[in-house]
Structure 1
């Protein structure tokens, strides 16, 4: 039977409506056991210092495991460790990884996953840093006159209005110095101006990318970034040949998780505060958020709506070869 032309329906759909985010496994919480620099790993006393560091970390891991805030009495918990191969030249992977894993083991800790910091910048066809950078939506500021270059040009991102010094500008009769001002200040401002990049991506920005990756909020086509490669004995001689994230144990708990908990030396506090400034201004993929929230709901878990509220920290004092403390 011929259908009259006037009764035919044409349905228009956006391409995005047919797009589904790549699936990733999810633990309840991802515990970051540390993030150390090359100097931490290569000084003569590094093994004893690492053992001392992991002893402090072990108490926090036990606390996290017993916190009871993960939506279940038997949470899926995975552990990870980030190694800086982006800013530094390291010994061969087998040397560094064995040193870290052995030091953790002496304190009763098992590192399930080790990641290379350079993979947060770029791996294969995946350019995670560029992907996140392109999703930055700076907060609109009242009274802004466009005199400051946007983050895409300057490489800097602030959490509010920067100060103004008329002595550095052409004479303007109606302008005077004003202090910086945080956009969402709680009575008094805590203003931050974060460098995103120069010739390299900044440590603070890569820390933001790292948090998004662990939280399952980045779904790159390079699946090794979210589905680590099992590797326990035979390591390549060059870091560039090592998968971006490797799995060192037989755990069934995935690398990505609904929530993250980072246990870090206190010298990373400023880095993480800067990373949170970035994360507050990153527009996330709504389909990925929908996927995470839907899967959490099926498990009876109510995730905080704000991404920053899914990230917890513990900062511990440590002796640092990079600062001499």
Structure 2
């Protein structure tokens, strides 16, 4: 496997192209593929209870950004694990349930695109694939432990990232003496620690990276915020749906599909995700990952400058995790 830092060096050598942005990207829900395919009534019920919440957040966005606020909606399908449902019935059920419930879905995305984004030309996948997850992994900067014992390999080798010092029950200099247990400690804690240790990836039998759900979710937010470039160009290129029947295989479905021809841009200054409560630990891990990301400075400056020139001007934090919002609902 090539050194993933090469993705950073290659993209850094090219000027980052600007990207049109909405004010707000709303993720209108997230269910697993089998939940979409096997229980249409539950899907409709989920959309029905989400609709008034979406309306409320859109109204709040218009108060904040003006009556002409640009708001786009999206839905992420988790096809990264071997999917147990075919594209056509899954997408048809999803979109029909949303339409019957009054929920507008502007864009549908596939989670596998957060790992590697194939380029589609005239509706057909090309051989050019953007290594999105590897690009993001190359920008992870783990905080160094103090004192470091060297017992645990660094993040880029282990695939683990934490927000502090891990627990210690062994020290080389005290190998022959009993040493009291030292609990983990959060960096920058307030009185007490909330320690988090996140697995970013594991290794497959052929030593390839198998990306974890929190890491792919972090990439998903970066895509929605317009933060990623490849060879200077935006990673996100939604494919317009022409109403033709869906392909038979997920690999033939574009990674990001624009369903609404009049939709505002997919990427936005800020994101809001309406999710089942079970995603709380994943989104906690997402914030840790994003807070350890060495983001592209040129892209950051461009987005902040564009926001300041918007009408009315928009304040965009340099801290990526500050641009994320979540609403976690009860239920399965």
The answer to whether the Cα contact below 8 Å between 2:240 and 2:258 also exists between their aligned partners in 1 is yes
2:188 alignment partner, one of 181, 184, 189: 184
Give the match for residue 5 of structure 2. Answer: none
Q: CA–CA distance in 1 between the matches of 2:176 and 2:64?
A: 56
- Describe the SS at the equivalent of 1:166: coil
Give the match for residue 18 of structure 2. Answer: 23
Q: CA–CA distance in 2 between the matches of 1:230 and 1:90?
A: 25
The answer to whether the Cα contact below 8 Å between 2:27 and 2:273 also exists between their aligned partners in 1 is yes
Range 33-42 or range 164-173, more displaced:
164-173
1:63 alignment partner, one of 51, 56, 62: 56
1:115 aligns with 2:109: yes
Q: Which of the pair has more CA radius of gyration?
A: 1
Residue 222 of structure 1 and its aligned partner are, at CA, apart by 10
The answer to whether the Cα contact below 8 Å between 2:26 and 2:273 also exists between their aligned partners in 1 is yes
1:85 aligns with 2:85: no
Residue 168 of structure 1 and its aligned partner are, at CA, apart by 11
Range 186-195 or range 126-135, more displaced:
186-195
Give the match for residue 149 of structure 2. Answer: 145
- Describe the SS at the equivalent of 1:66: helix
Residue 186 of structure 1 and its aligned partner are, at CA, apart by 2.3
Give the match for residue 163 of structure 2. Answer: 159
Residue 302 of structure 1 and its aligned partner are, at CA, apart by 1.2
1:318 aligns with 2:305: no
1:307 aligns with 2:320: yes
Higher share of residues assigned strand: 2
Give the match for residue 264 of structure 2. Answer: 253
Q: Decide whether aligned partners of structure 1 residues 225 and 286 sit closer, same or farther in structure 2, where only a CA change above 3 A counts.
A: closer
Unaligned stretches of 5+ in structure 1? 1-14, 320-325
Q: CA–CA distance in 2 between the matches of 1:245 and 1:16?
A: 22
- Describe the SS at the equivalent of 1:179: coil
Deviations 1:81-112 (A, max 9, x none): 00011113243322111111111112211100
The answer to whether the Cα contact below 8 Å between 2:17 and 2:232 also exists between their aligned partners in 1 is no
1:220 aligns with 2:230: yes
Give the match for residue 123 of structure 2. Answer: none
Residue 285 of structure 1 and its aligned partner are, at CA, apart by 0.3
Deviations 1:19-72 (A, max 9, x none): 3212322100100112222231233xx101101111121122112112246433
- Describe the SS at the equivalent of 1:67: helix
Range 267-276 or range 84-93, more displaced:
84-93
TM-score by length of 1: 0.87
The answer to whether the Cα contact below 8 Å between 1:232 and 1:247 also exists between their aligned partners in 2 is no
Q: After the TM superposition, which residues 30-69 of structure 1 pair with which residues of structure 2 at under 5 Å, given as runs?
A: 30-43=25-38, 46-68=39-61
Give the match for residue 6 of structure 1. Answer: none
Q: CA–CA distance in 2 between the matches of 1:97 and 1:82?
A: 11
Range 19-28 or range 304-313, more displaced:
19-28
The answer to whether the Cα contact below 8 Å between 1:24 and 1:227 also exists between their aligned partners in 2 is no
- Describe the SS at the equivalent of 1:270: helix
- Number of residue pairs the alignment of both structures matches: 304
2:276 alignment partner, one of 238, 254, 265: 265
TM-score by length of 2: 0.85
Q: CA–CA distance in 2 between the matches of 1:116 and 1:206?
A: 11
